[in-house]
Amino acid sequence: MLVSQVACFLALAAGGPFFLKAQTSPPQASPAQTTPAQAPPAQNPSVQISPPQNAPEMNTRDEQASFKSRVNLVMVPVVVRNAQGNAVGNLTKDNFQLFDKGKPQEIARFSVEKTAVSATESNGKPAAAPVAPPTAEGAEPAVIAPERFVAFVFDDIHLAPNDLAKVREAADQHIENMVPTDRLALYSISGEMSQDFTDDRRKLHAALARIRPAIMVRAGALNDIDQRVLIALSNLKAIVKRMSIVPGQRTVVLVSPGFNTLSSLYTEDKAAIIEQAIRSKVIISSMDARGLYTDPRFNVAPGGGRSLTGMYMAGSLMAELASGTGGQFFENSNGYEEGFRRLAAAPEYLYLLGFSPQNLRSDGSFHTLKVSLKNAPSLTMTARHGYYAPKRTDDATETARQEIESALFSRDEMMELPIEMHTQFFTTGDLAKLSVMAHLDLKQFKFHKADGRNHNEVTLVAGIFDRNGNYLQGIKKVVELRLKDETLAHMGNGVTVKTTFDVKPGTYLVRLVVRDSEGQALSATNNAVNIQ
């Protein structure tokens, strides 16, 4: 069974004033993510706050923090390339025009994301493997944290045996050339084979060798073709969801001969895959495993096979997924090794255009999107083709939970709140105590006045990941602040919230997310820890 999203947030029990003890339990990783090296659950942590004298009471509670629902934005990933095929990253919002069903839209949110180019340099040549900086004799070895997570998804449902053998050989070579900051995962779209993220080449080669054409068992009222397509889409959606919890650059590479998804039976699944990918910052690229098939003289495939029209229709899903998420579609070529190298490397620059649809009806209808460039005739562009209107209004609490969860399973540094994170550890036998200290400068937080006090709630989530980016455990806390004016004025350097995990020796990535309910601001930061 493919991996579903990790449920990572449990409530706090009540505490007392000044020294607050939060009775929490860490979220459990799903069985598909559990490994023998997984760290044991954290013990009940305590929130240690050292305010000045005469401070008012501060409490914890077991309710979820409440956030206001944000404006519903439709996000449109766009990749712009020059005549040499290189991504362009120097455009501004004024260079773009965005249309929804032919009507011009105001671009309310605009950002340019520059990805870490670990697989290729800007000139397209393979990049050199990063080298850890030298360390003094007796010092701990430097931590090389994973930066790029690539999941190869092989369509064993539709791939012909000959085509599967070709792409498997090219993938074997790609595995040999991976760099230390890469983590690869292998999945078959039928769900029969999965190898979670690792840098162990032997495991990856062994998993690749296990991929075989799937034997499908017909069930229910669906015909064989519909059943295959729905299984493929459902499992692809689960893989994208799995990708949303890895802490780095996220790319899915779909290797398939394509399959026809023009039927309305597949509409919701296709839309859900693209929406999940955009929300989770997952880029989906596709490789047409049929290789070179175009004969420009005839509208038939070489050898008298299917018509080119039919072959293009079969590849339409791969093209749609790539253009809708900022990826590439590698087609009509036998250069599979080159294809894997290009697709595994995300575009160096990715534009995200966000707009708020006006008078949007929750009827599930399809809205065509068009993005154009002003005064840029030499540039080409790929962008999302459209979106489906929601069928119901999003729940505000669920939206807030997803925002916090998305920030936890990201590597982006965000500093909307003034926070600092420090980590400490000490070993006790076969285990270690790993402490995560979050320092909050409350003077710069927003408060609202009620009953003569300054009110706010601060939600903190600390999570730890192993060296392969697998989520191990996390703890969420809500600190209720009811500060008097004089206390707030004499807060000095603020307060520190401490969380302690029991872990085994190893290399970990620590992720801290802090969100306040009053200002609705969010900060997130990372720290790599090597425990010997």
Q: What pTM was computed for the model?
A: 0.66
Determine the pLDDT at residue 31.
35
Is the domain of 288 the same as that of 180? yes
Q: Is residue 295 pLDDT above 80, yes or no?
A: no
pLDDT higher than threshold 50 for residue 302: no
Over 80: is that where the pLDDT of 137 sits?
A: no
* Mean pLDDT in residue range 450-473: 89
Q: Kindly report the CATH number assigned to the domain that includes residue 81.
A: 2.60.40
Lowest mean pLDDT among 66-75, 102-111, 139-148: 66-75
In percent, the amount of the chain with pLDDT more than 70 equals: 73
Residues 179 and 255 in one domain: yes
Most confident by average pLDDT, 189-203, 223-237, 293-307, 358-372: 189-203
pLDDT classification of 79: cutoffs 50, 70, 90: very high
Mean pLDDT of the chain, nearest integer: 78
Domain annotation covers residue 213: yes
Is 200 inside a domain boundary? yes
Instruction: Assess whether pLDDT exceeds 70 at residue 254.
Output: yes
| 476 CB-near residues (< 8 Å, 6+ apart) | 8, 9, 10, 11, 12, 24, 459, 460, 461
Q: Is the pLDDT of residue 219 over 60?
A: no
Q: Given CA atoms 464, 466, 471, 472 in this order, what sign does their dihedral have?
A: negative
Residue 39 lies in a domain: yes
Report which of residues 64 and 383 the model is more confident about.
383
C-beta separation of 360 from 389 below 8 A: yes
Domain membership of residue 401 (yes or no) is yes
Which of 393, 426, 461 is a domain's end point?
Answer: 393
For residues 338, 321, 238, 4, the Cα torsion angle rounded to the nearest 10 degrees is 100
What's the confidence (pLDDT) of residue 346? 87
The residue behind tokens 């013990």 is: 43
Residue that is written with structure tokens 């998305």 in the block: 406
Least confident window among 274-278, 363-367, 459-463: 363-367
pLDDT of residue 294: 57
Comparing 70-79, 96-105, 145-154, 270-279, the range with the smallest average pLDDT is: 70-79
Dmax over CA atoms of the chain, in Å, equals 87
**In this structure, are 296 and 407 located in the same domain?**
no
pLDDT at 304 over 60: no
Q: Is the pLDDT of residue 351 over 90?
A: yes
In a domain, 9, yes or no: no
What is the pLDDT at residue 410? Answer: 75
Residues of the domain holding 410: 19-67+397-531
Kindly state whether residue 205 falls inside one of the protein's structural domains: yes
